[in-house]
Amino acid sequence: MYLETISLLATIILALAGYLSTYWNDLRLTKRQEKLDLVNKRISEFYGPLFVATHTSGKAYHALLQKLGKRAVFTDETAPATERDIVEWRIWVKTVFMPNNLLMEKLIVDKAYLIREEQMPDCLLEFITHVSGYKAVIEKWNTGDFSENVSTDFPEELITYATQSYRDLKAQQLQLIGNNVDKSLQTRLD
């Protein structure tokens, strides 16, 4: 009788231990999957598009400068902006920069809930201000008023923020799916 009781108790303890082990493992896997789902969503719906858009804008701006043979459109003291430069600038602002800016503005406004930080980063708010200013400048151009050519400066920190956030999330994603962070990924993102 004593052996039967010990055997029954051992069976119950093993069953309970197995249940608890399964429960904790399932809980751990669920939390990991939830983290991975959030990271994937942040990459695919916010930081990935922001990374691409900021880098595209930067490359487009440098292409314009190369086309104009300048270091800056309006602040290059060695080569002041000519009328041809200003006309070219307006075309690029309307057809290249603003469509990309509007895409990023919509992304920031519509997907702000995916931002990693508790507070909205200043560079995102400064970018929204930058876009708002260009909306007014372009509207002036549309009415024939060419007295202004620029808005507030593009916040360069936005490129750094988008790049670093994208890198961090990709590393976290790879870690969550069980891959070690590949150093070549970090190099490719530079």
Q: Does residue 8 fall inside a structural domain?
A: no
Average pLDDT per consecutive 10 residues, the chain (190 residues; last block may be shorter): 78 75 70 90 97 96 95 83 94 97 98 96 98 97 95 95 97 85 50
Q: What is the pLDDT of residue 20?
A: 67
Q: Does residue 62 fall inside a structural domain?
A: yes
Q: Does residue 102 fall inside a structural domain?
A: yes
Q: Does residue 41 fall inside a structural domain?
A: yes
Q: Does residue 23 fall inside a structural domain?
A: no
Element spanning 40, H or E: helix 2-42
pTM higher than 0.85: no
Q: Does residue 15 fall inside a structural domain?
A: no
96 touches 119 (CB < 8 A): no
Q: Does residue 25 fall inside a structural domain?
A: no
Q: Which domain, by its residues, includes 122?
A: 35-188
What distance in Å separates the CA atoms of residue 28 and residue 131, rounded to the nearest whole number? 43
**Residue with tokens 């969550």, as numbered in its chain:** 176
Q: Does residue 160 fall inside a structural domain?
A: yes
Q: What is the pLDDT of residue 12?
A: 81
141 touches 4 (CB < 8 A): no
Task: Please give the tally of structural domains in the chain.
Answer: 1
List of residues 6+ apart from 50 with CB closer than 8 A: 104, 107, 108, 162, 165, 166
Q: What is the pLDDT of residue 28?
A: 73
Q: What is the pLDDT of residue 190?
A: 46
